[in-house]
Amino acid sequence: MKWYEYLPSDTLFLRGAEPMVSGTSFETTQIFPPAVSVVSGAMRTAVLAQNKISIGQYKKGDPISEHIGAFGKKAPFKVLGPFIKYHSNFYVPAPFTWFTEDKATDTTITITEAQPLNTQIEQRLGLKSSASLIGWVRHHKEIKSVGGNWVLLDALLKGTTTYENGKTLFFPHDKTTCLFSVEERTGIAMDASRNVEEGKIYTARHIRLRPHVSLVWGVDKPCGLAPEGMLSLGGEQRFGRYHEINDLFQFPETGSQYLALSPVPVTTETSRDLVASGKIIYRGGWDLARQFHKDMIGYYPAGAVFTTNVKGVCIPYA
């Protein structure tokens, strides 16, 4: 596995599928961390730029396709991550099987994990559902999900149940301890001549990493990317610098539950293996090969838990 660390020069623009048109009153959906397809696409584009290969040349066929895949086809390599690096520690999205009775402002957060249900418990509690019941949480006070927040990777793999808010567990909405912030950006519409179209504005949401925070991801095979350089990740040609780093992680080969580090497409296969998830998000985008919009696809968010390593984007943690 080859590992890369990436630091944006400014903000990241990772949006959902909503149209950015005038007159709408909503904000674009925040999709963070980015899907592995976004990361692999950014790496493939960087390889073309570093080798001074135009899109036209790549489309016709070029030897570089052995490393990054043919034009219009999926990348031949798999991406694992992204992780968040804060100083020398690494963080991943917390599992959606995690719950707590504590407040997000408390110093100490105690985690209770959902446990599998059996027929006797279902009958004793009188539980019924049109879908299969997977797990439940024993609690005395009101509980809430911790899924999707950011947890220290070492603590997750050790099975820690008590976390220190702002050190081993981070809540994105807590401005005093968050690893990144979300900024609203209002833009103006322009016509083909770059003239402002009166009364047409839109609002987008950008992600700004706090100081000493960067993104890290792994690739399972070489893709021809230079050891360091510039890379554009996400929309609006937002760019940053990356560099190779030494081998980082050794994960168990198998486990009873697998944590998704990035969004996972909703398919028959992934739905069958799903244990817990947050709200499904939708993403489209632009298909360079077809020169047309991509199909709208639903994704389980990072932090979703599965019984297998679906799509190769999960790590075993239990």
159, 236: one domain: no
Write down the pLDDT at residue 26.
Answer: 43
pLDDT at 140: 83
* Nearest CA-CA partner of 172 in 32, 71, 56, 10: 32
Q: Is residue 93 part of a domain?
A: yes
- Please indicate, yes or no, whether residues 146 and 289 belong to a single structural domain of this protein: no
- Segment 175-227, tens digit of pLDDT: 667 888 888 777 777 777 878 877 777 777 788 899 999 999 999 998 999 99
Helices and strands: H and E segment counts in the chain: 6, 26
Q: Which ranges constitute the DSSP H helices of the chain? A: 36-50, 55-60, 65-68, 119-125, 153-158, 268-273
Spatial strand order in the sheet of 213-219:
169-170, 150-152, 89-93, 79-86, 213-219, 2-8, 239-245, 228-232
58 in any annotated domain: yes
The whole-number pLDDT of residue 260 equals: 96
Residues whose CB is less than 8 angstroms from the CB of residue 87 and which lie 6 or more positions away in sequence, other chains included: 212
pLDDT number for residue 82: 94
Say if CB 96 and CB 79 are below 8 A apart: no
Given a contact cutoff of 8 angstroms between Cβ atoms, the answer to whether 11 and 202 are in contact is no
Say yes or no: 296 and 153 in one domain. no
One domain for residues 221 and 72:
yes
Q: Domain range holding 268?
A: 251-318
Q: Kindly state whether residues 130 and 267 are assigned to the same domain.
A: no
Per-residue pLDDT of the chain (318 residues; tens, 9 = 90+): 899 999 999 888 876 544 544 444 444 455 788 889 889 999 999 999 999 999 888 888 888 998 999 888 888 999 999 999 999 999 999 999 999 999 888 899 999 998 877 777 777 777 777 666 677 787 888 899 999 999 999 999 999 999 999 899 998 766 667 888 888 777 777 777 878 877 777 777 788 899 999 999 999 998 999 999 999 988 777 899 999 998 777 787 888 899 999 999 999 999 999 999 999 988 776 666 666 667 778 899 999 999 999 999 999 987
Pairwise CA distance, residues 172 & 170, whole Å: 6
| 3-state secondary structure (DSSP) of residue 11 | coil
In a domain, 71, yes or no: yes
The pLDDT value recorded for residue 174 is: 67
- The reported pLDDT for the residue numbered 314 is 95
Spatial separation of the C-alpha atoms in residues 76 and 295, rounded to whole Å: 21
Strand partners, 206: 183
Q: Would 169 be classed as within a structural domain?
A: yes
Q: How many domains does the chain have?
A: 3
| Residue located via tokens 């190769």 | 312
The residue among 178, 203, 232 that closes a domain is: 178
Encoding tokens for residue 54? 């135009």
- CA-nearest of 87, 108, 114 to 214 is 87
Final residue in a domain of this structure, among 225, 249, 273 = 249
**What angle is formed at CA 113 by the lines to CA 267 and CA 105, rounded to 5 degrees?**
105
**Same-domain pairing of 166 and 21:** no
Q: Please check whether residues 72 and 218 belong to one and the same domain.
A: yes
| pTM of this structure | 0.86
Structural domain ending residue among the three candidates 226, 249, 272: 249
